[in-house]
Amino acid sequence: MQSFLRTPLVRLQGISKRFPGVVAVDEVDLDIYPGEVHVVAGENGAGKSTLMKLLSQVERPSSGTMSINGQPVRYQGPRSAQALGIAMVYQEFALAPHLTVAQNMFLGREPGKLGLINRGSEIQQAQELLRRVGLTIDPQRLVSTLSVAEQQLVEIAKALAIDARLVIMDEPTAVLTGEEIEDLFAVIDQLTARGIAILYISHRLDEIFRIADRITVMRDGKVVATLPRSEIDEQKLIRLMVGRDLRNLYPKPSVAIGEVVLRVQHLSRPGILHDCTFEVRAGEILGCAGLIGAGRTELARAVFGADPISGGTIWLDGKQLQVKTPTMAIDAGIGYLTEDRKGNGLAMNLGIDQNITLAHLPMMAGMIDLKQERYIALRSRDDLRIRTPSIKQQVQMLSGGNQQKVVVARWLQTKSRVLFFDEPSRGIDVGAKAEMFDLIGHLAQEGRAIVMISSYLPELLNMCDRILVMREGKIVGTLDREQFSEERVLALATGARETEAL
């Protein structure tokens, strides 16, 4: 990454944010320099997101001062932050899908005179900004027609449209493939070369060390350290983040693999899945790898009855199933932990207790047994170490890691024999990841059959007994543990050097 000047672009001094009963950001001092990539790391709940909202003036600080190029800045709201050159690229994109790329980039700031919008100028300016981020698309395309990676670059181009001097990126690689991540890093290099500062939030340790100039670690709302990348290694970073040594991020236990629990044969869905056959055994963790769009989630949803199939059979413990709905799958003993826990995995406005029992309600005389529901929720809270002041707390108030545990708790109540984990570590911090993988290992020890879908190869290589690889809706290969390597998995996933990979 680029070298940077020693005069801060942004300086925070004693910045705090207090909510009722909670100090989210506590007396933070932080300098951000032109042309640097400054990574902010920390567990969920450490205060990172609140700090970003203070910088982008989405939230008003309770105390402290902020200056840009040495000039004090008063809180006046997000528009003021944009005018000062601070842009935020959210993990969940803030784009209007029914508008064109150009319209999104200049929404609320359309070029023109006397109340008339100059669409020609808008398109021309958008084209130039898209070129600067390496995106050669028609600015008149609807955003709804773009890929995730293209939308990411449109968000960055939108930041350049306000002449941003600081671009804040929140988990920008969460849904990108390896090649798309490299393209994003190349764009970041170009931005820092022009003196634009990047404030970068990520839970992925490998990319933190790949991209950072400096790393600030937060814990419990405080900054515990700010260090150049050269002065910190992975173990030191983890120790600073969680406040303790965490020797093994992937605590895979030794498990005796049993009989076949789930057998899927010739599963097909026109244009999406093609003749997919696989099996998973008791105590086994079967990985599912592939590029975005390869059909991994679609395969899990088809087995779970969430999507219709045109052919194929599903067998559980030697018995053929007719799985046409998720309810039928649940009743048979199949559970699916969706990658989209906020959209499909949780009822965000309901309490922890209600979410845990949602798939298997405790009933008595035709009514929900509230006493039993409370008992189940308290036991799950203690067993899974769900951090919450009350089992009645709304799930939307929990950190990502604790939300994920609530989803797991729900499926444990169904006594599922087979559990599909779709991107189980997405959006959760390093400590929560270790706990999640420890839990997956314990479930395997109990004799459950686990299918783990992940876009992050180190997770699959460390946690799985076998890895099946998908490409274009097909299972193109299965690797045993002694065959594991990133090169083999990627060769199968991309179609390169297939014979060498096998």
List, as one string, the DSSP characters of 332-359.
Answer: HTEEEE-S-IIIII--TTSBHHHHHTTT
Q: Say whether 260-501 and 10-241 share the same fold.
A: yes
Nearest to 208 by CA among 219, 220, 198: 198
**Residue 34 or 497, more confident:** 34
- Classify residue 104 as exposed, middle or buried by CB count within 10 Å of its CB (0-12, 13-18, 19+): buried
Nearest to 121 by CA among 134, 138, 108, 102: 102
Residue range 46-66, pLDDT digits in tens = 888 889 999 999 999 999 999
At the topology level, CATH places domain 260-501 in: Rossmann fold (3.40.50)
Residue 18, SS3 per DSSP: strand
Identify the pLDDT of residue 406. 86
Name which of 150-164, 288-302, 325-339, 349-363 the model is least confident about: 349-363
Identify the pLDDT of residue 500. 45
| Beta strands 334-337; 285-289: pairing state | unpaired
Q: Mean pLDDT in the chain?
A: 86
Identify the pLDDT of residue 146. 84
| Distances, alpha carbon 226 to alpha carbons 32, 211, 223, 486, in Å | 11, 15, 8, 32
Residue range 239-274, pLDDT digits in tens = 888 776 556 677 788 899 999 999 999 999 999 999
**Residue 335 or 359, more confident:** 335
Residue 28 has pLDDT above 90, yes or no: yes
Nearest to 5 by CA among 28, 31, 27, 33: 33
Work out whether the CA dihedral 176, 179, 184, 185 comes out positive or negative. Answer: positive
Identify the pLDDT of residue 494. 81
Q: What is the DSSP string of 29-60?
A: EEEE-TT-EEEEE--TTSSHHHHHHHHTTSS-
pLDDT band, residue 38 (cuts 50/70/90):
very high
Residue range 372-401, pLDDT digits in tens = 888 788 887 887 778 888 888 888 888 777
Residue range 272-319, pLDDT digits in tens = 999 999 999 999 999 999 987 789 999 999 999 999 999 999 999 999
**Residue 332 or 22, more confident:** 332
Identify the pLDDT of residue 498. 47
Query: What mean pLDDT is predicted for residues 359-370?
Result: 77
Query: What mean pLDDT is predicted for residues 189-211?
Result: 90
Residue range 137-151, pLDDT digits in tens = 899 999 888 887 788
Identify the pLDDT of residue 168. 93
In contact, 323 and 303? CB cutoff 8 Å: yes
Identify the pLDDT of residue 502. 44
Q: Say what percent of the chain tops pLDDT 90.
A: 42
In contact, 208 and 215? CB cutoff 8 Å: yes
Which residue in the block uniquely carries the two structure tokens 């029992």?
357
Across-strand partners of 240?
Answer: none
SS (H, E, C) 167-222: EEEECCCCCCCHHHHHHHHHHHHHHHHCCCEEEEECCCHHHHHHHCCEEEEEECCE
**Residue 108 or 226, more confident:** 226
In contact, 58 and 64? CB cutoff 8 Å: no
In contact, 68 and 46? CB cutoff 8 Å: no
Identify the pLDDT of residue 232. 92
CATH number for region 10-241: 3.40.50.300
- What are the φ and ψ backbone dihedral angles of 454, each rounded to 5 degrees? -150, 145
Identify the pLDDT of residue 478. 96
Residue 78 has pLDDT above 80, yes or no: yes
Distance CA 69, CA 77 (A): 19
Number of H helices, E strands in the chain: 17, 24
Using left for φ > 0, alpha for ψ between -120 and 50, and beta otherwise, residue 312 falls in: left
Query: What mean pLDDT is predicted for residues 314-343?
Result: 88
Q: What are the domain boundaries of the chain? A: 10-241, 260-501
Which amino acid does the sequence have at 210?
A: R
Nearest-5° Cα angle at 412, 406 to 479: 100
Helix (H) / strand (E) containing 476: strand 474-480
pLDDT band, residue 496 (cuts 50/70/90):
low
Distance of CA 1 to the CA centre of its chain: 24
Distance CA 311, CA 453 (A): 23
Residue 13 has pLDDT above 80, yes or no: yes
Identify the pLDDT of residue 373. 82
CB hemisphere CA count around 25 (13 angstroms): 25
Helix axes 178-193, 148-161, angle to 10 degrees: 10
pLDDT band, residue 2 (cuts 50/70/90):
very low
CB hemisphere CA count around 220 (13 angstroms): 4
DSSP assignment letter at 144: G
In contact, 448 and 418? CB cutoff 8 Å: yes
Nearest-5° Cα angle at 112, 107 to 114: 115
